[in-house]
Amino acid sequence: MRRSVSSSADFLVIGSGVAGLRAAIELSREGRVVMLTKGHPLQSASIFAQGGVAVALSEEDDVSIHLTDTVNAGHGLCRLEAVRALVEEGPDRIQELIRWGAKFDKVGGKFAFAREAAHTRSRILRARGDATGNEMVRVLMAHAGRQKRIHRMTFHFTVDLVVEDGRCCGAVVMNENSGEQFILPAKAVVLSTGGAGQIYARTTNPPNATGDGIAMAFRAGAQLQDVEFVQFHPTALYVPSSPPFLLSEAMRGEGGQLRNHKGEAFMERYHPLGALAPRDIVARAIWAEMAATRSRHVYLDVTHLGSDFVKRRFPTIYATCLRHDIDITEEWIPVSPSAHYMMGGVWTDLNGATTLPGLFAAGEVACSGVHGANRLASNSLLEGLVFGMRAGAAAIAWAARQTVPDLAKQVAALRHGERHRLDDAEKLRNSLRRTMWGQVGIVRSRESLVRAVAQLSRWGRMVSESFATRADLEVKNMVQVAHCVAEAALWRENSVGAHFRSDFPDSKRPGWKRHSQISLQEPSIGWERQEHRRPVVVRRSRKSQSRGRQRQDLA
């Protein structure tokens, strides 16, 4: 197998969803950009985003109201400055997208704003009914394709980040077709690899959402934050032996009702907003109803909305359910919660800079502080646009002072390093997903988390080698991210937002506003053999430093 060093780029973008595309467009103003995509570019989670994009553009809305709704949904753990940047810059980013050709749905010549859970105003823009993410990615890909400085490399898996003299200056990349591994140097790197939903047995995420960016950044020494906060979407289609399919929250925003097996609309017993309560509350309410009735699902009922309206408003959902022999205009839809979104991730400042100089992050892989303990519905696509641009601008400013270092030692280490095969990677992957779903899922306890941490530690030792295939490398990343999630969940001895501890149900215990921060005590070069080390949960004070950079007090 040939391994080499590739020609350098000014900027390297890893991932090609909304955040990565917007970052690449910004970066192309100042230099050559290489975009690395695992698999096919149309497999990103952004494309599958149905509900829409939240933005304060309607006559009844205001950025201050959007800010308040976001902070309230985040249960007091949002970073206020990040939320302010999101809601204030969001309208400009959406208008920019419209100028580039985005076509959002209209009624009577005006944008058709919808409402979703925990929003006090109708502010959700949608495209083709329930294909908003697809439309946004289409426009961004077309605009990026017109930028001559952007070079795309599809079916290229990023194995690890390259760190030299304390800064990130490239990546180890594998050609998925040939198996060749090489080093791609760059002045700055932007991570936009999405989330890690595949660490759970039930997830709305596509199969490639294996936490690669989070794991790579963690191994390179960047700090993670708030990874215990995993949002479980309340309503994913439940069909035995079939992957969960997301049923947009907009269905409840349009009047859909949740019913248990007795046919009762139960949400009013759990929250005054009923079916439009925040996602974490709805997910746990469904979980409680399932437990009480000993069933594997509840039902979402939209039959009363009218056949023509449902088909027009939710064409993708209607067609998908029909393929499973469920006519949602006539039948209740079996639904149950599924892992959906990572609120935590690689810590960044307001401009996407991580604690590792030269490394920037945006989108679901990052913890920008926007979401706190629970993401407000449809804020994620807007976050990708706003912070993708911010990360790009910050990477430009950083790169202006940098040169690409000599990476001869890293090239030699890559050339002579051994590659291994993981015994039965698929079995380990499935076991991991079942463990996370059962022990680190919607309801957690010290007992379940201790068991999970112990098992993940054992698996961590199994994946401490360097591997040669994408499947093995993905399992390695999944184990490491899952271990971080379990450790952070064990550390947080209170319940807030998406994190619920049955043994600590009170959200107001002392120190509840502190943020989990996880890092390796001794970062290692990713492509050299490394002994498995347990993630360490650390807390930093207002005056603490991280790699020479002043950190904000996020508490």
Following CA atoms 48, 311, 236, 330 in sequence, which dihedral angle do they give, to the nearest 10 degrees?
Answer: -170
CATH of 418-550, one of 3.20.20.150, 1.25.40.10, 2.40.50.140, 1.20.58.100: 1.20.58.100
Of the listed ranges 111-120, 163-172, 205-214, 267-276, the one predicted with least confidence: 111-120
- What percent of the chain lies above the pLDDT cut of 70? 91
pLDDT value of position 280:
87
**How many Å apart are CA 289 and CA 130, to the nearest integer?**
28
The residues annotated as belonging to the active site are 279
Cα dist from 346 to 5, 103, 474, whole Å: 27, 32, 18
- What percent of the chain lies above the pLDDT cut of 90? 76
pLDDT value of position 383:
97
pLDDT at 54 over 80: yes
pLDDT value of position 47:
58
Read off the pLDDT of each residue in 468-482 and give the average, rounded to a whole number: 96
User: Any idea how long the chain is?
Assistant: 555
Read off the pLDDT of each residue in 347-374 and give the average, rounded to a whole number: 97
pLDDT value of position 529:
35
Read off the pLDDT of each residue in 475-487 and give the average, rounded to a whole number: 97
Architecture per CATH, domain 235-337, reads as Alpha-Beta Complex (3.90)
Cα dist from 455 to 214, 279, 434, 486, whole Å: 20, 29, 12, 10
Of the listed ranges 27-41, 295-309, 416-430, the one predicted with least confidence: 416-430
More confident residue, 412 or 180: 180
pLDDT at 522 over 90: no
pLDDT value of position 543:
33
DSSP 8-state assignment for residue 225: E
Sign of CA dihedral 46, 50, 51, 56: positive
Number of C-beta neighbours around residue 468 at 10 A: 18
Residue at 160: amino acid letter: D
Of the listed ranges 93-102, 125-134, 230-239, the one predicted with least confidence: 125-134
Question: Model's pTM, two decimal places?
Answer: 0.90
**Which range among 6-20, 23-37, 398-412 has the greatest average pLDDT?**
23-37
Place of tokens 């988390």: 449
Residues whose CB is less than 8 angstroms from the CB of residue 544 and which lie 6 or more positions away in sequence, other chains included = 551
In DSSP terms, which residues pair with 225 in a beta bridge? 345, 517
The residues spanned by each domain of the chain are 235-337, 418-550
pLDDT value of position 48:
58
In terms of phi and psi (left: phi > 0; alpha: psi -120 to 50; beta: otherwise), the region of 65 is alpha
**How many Å apart are CA 274 and CA 522, to the nearest integer?**
48
Of the listed ranges 117-131, 337-351, 420-434, the one predicted with least confidence: 117-131
For residues 518 and 225, the answer to whether their CB atoms sit within 8 Å is yes
For residues 547 and 355, the answer to whether their CB atoms sit within 8 Å is yes
For residues 180 and 350, the answer to whether their CB atoms sit within 8 Å is no
User: Which of 320-329's residues contact partners 24+ apart within 8 Å by CB, and which partners?
Assistant: 320/237, 320/245, 321/237, 321/245, 324/237, 324/239, 324/242, 326/237, 328/302, 328/303, 329/302, 329/303
The pLDDT confidence band at residue 541, using thresholds 50, 70 and 90, is very low
Read off the pLDDT of each residue in 422-431 and give the average, rounded to a whole number: 93
The pLDDT confidence band at residue 116, using thresholds 50, 70 and 90, is confident
For residues 62 and 56, the answer to whether their CB atoms sit within 8 Å is yes
